[in-house]
Amino acid sequence: MGQYQAQNNRRYDPEAIARYYRYRPWLVFWRACTIIWYFVGFILSLYWDKWQNREEQNKFKRATQLRQILTHLGPTFIKVGQALSTRPDLIRKDFLEELVKLQDQLPPFDNAIAFRTIETELNRSVQDVYSEISPHPVAAASLGQVYRARLHSGEEVAVKVQRPNLRPVLTLDLYLMRWTAGWISSWLPLNLGHDLKMIVDEFGTKLFEEIDYLNEARNAEKFATNFRNDLRVKVPAIYWRFTATRVLTLEWIHGFKLTDTQSIREAGLDTDTLIEIGVTAGLQQLLEHGFFHADPHPGNLFAMPDGRMAYIDFGMMDQLNELTKETLVDAIVHLVNKDYTELAADFVKLGFLTPDTNICPIVPALEAVLGEAIGQSVGDFNFKSVTDSFSELMYDYPFRVPAQFALIIRSLVTQEGIALSLNPNFKIVEVSYPYVARRLLTGETPQLRRRLLNVLFKNGKFQWERLENLIAIAQADKRFDLLPTAQLGIQYLLSEEGKFLRQQFLLALTEDDRLHTAEVQRIWNLVKGELQPNRILNVALDAITEISKERTAAILPVVNAFAVFPKQK
């Protein structure tokens, strides 16, 4: 297996990488010495502070020192620092705050090397591909750098070129990280060390995907397909003829970074609208498509002059399964309804708690952490404050962050930071929950309809206030149209699937031996402005017609089947 070229393998394979470096111990030794030198110095500094009783005084200095060490050690460790900045279960609070600031900006590498990479990857000269290209990169990051260019056909493009010898550096660092994770996991508390190797493997998988530009191009097109009907979201087009594993050519985006608030305001763009687009698009990625952008930092999001938001850099993406998407909807609903027992059960389903965990003592802790969250501005309620609180809970209760959720947390915290920079008083809950309410009320899938029932019924009793809240909150979403929702609701009530709801609704009207006319009147007051009687009649007739068509369609094959038989004499 010594002939295996780890640096040429496009997919992360920890076992193959281990076999490769087992025959090259000198490479492992020198890199390990370099890493150990830096971290031993850092650990000695921590002990020195302890001996001198200066821990509290120097804690921010040491956090800065850690960030600088990670930056000096190169691309892998910069990415590790960014990942750790979202892991309250793995790193203490003061370090967490400093690593959030970690930037992956590095000096650009030599143009000659970049242009040679373009020619090697595309098998043609730079002049043959581009009619013009910027003499220097317009942006440089830990994994590559970007040039501004123009094709011979006239389109303006961005050309992303990968750093040289990147794969061997990453594979060696990942090998050392995985070996270290296996060695120290037995020394850590169970909730911290149980899956350290899995965390490294998840990180390695995503890192290898990020440096495969063909994979990034496919991700961009899949993302564009998901948002094809949303005119507010822009995804750059990919030029496949000029794209390879280490070179990516895509449409140039004209716009402003979301942190450039001055340019955004000078262009006459509304910051609240931009935040709303970002929050809603993020929720769609997590709860509808399941395919989400895991690295939406300000350099990857642009406000365009026409008001659209453009996403770029699709190297770090992830896919959620249906159960996870549905449970996330549940968790948001339970959070807003302050149902902390059910929320604790959601944490079990999502993997934050093991199935055998006794959640009874955890429920009060969740209430203490999240109880005041709803209704506050993003400046007071934010994911960072929640992760800070959870960093303390991690040591008192057996919480753990599943590897996949590290990417989700990273995405949410980053998007929230952008919202804070644009408008510290923007109420993120006022955007996110109306979206969830609209999704529940439209109930376009059986799973969502079941979740609506779970929201509306508690312990067998119909929750009138929750229905009122859902309608009121959904109406805060400007795109919410009550009429189609009413039509879907009537169709569902008349269908076989809605039989249970019909029975429960009739029971709810006469619950506790009284007719609940007051509750019905309150709901009617909410919707009467949008549901005029003649419009309701039309909607009801359409719904009945639709149900009739479905039943006719179901019966027709049976009728046709009997029609082919000769009549009995």
Q: Which residues are catalytic?
A: 295
Looking at residue 47, its amino acid is Y
- DSSP states along 3-35: T--GGG-SS--HHHHHHHHHT-HHHHHHHHHHH
201-214 residues labelled b (16+ CB within 10 A) or e (exposed): bbbbbbbbbbbbbb
CA dihedral 169, 171, 172, 175 (to 10 degrees): 160
Neighbours of 45 (CB within 10 A): 15
Nearest CA-CA partner of 300 in 259, 337, 244: 259
- Taking the CA atoms of residue 470, residue 473, residue 475 and residue 478 in that order, the dihedral angle to the nearest 10 degrees is -130
Q: List helix spans (H) across 267-361.
A: 271-284, 322-336, 340-350
- Burial class, 525, CB count within 10 angstroms (exposed 0-12 / middle 13-18 / buried 19+): exposed
Strands 130-133 and 144-151: antiparallel
- 381-396 residues labelled b (16+ CB within 10 A) or e (exposed): bbbbebbebbbebbee
Distance CA 142, CA 369 (A): 36
Q: Please give the DSSP secondary-structure letter assigned to residue 287.
A: I
User: What angle is formed at CA 419 by the lines to CA 416 and CA 420, rounded to 5 degrees?
Assistant: 90
Residue 58, helix vs strand vs coil: helix
> Residue 311: how many CA atoms within 13 Å on its side-chain side?
28
In the chain, the amino acid numbered 393 is: L
Distance in angstroms (rounded) separating the CA atoms of residues 427 and 423: 9
Contact 237, 230 (CB under 8 A): no
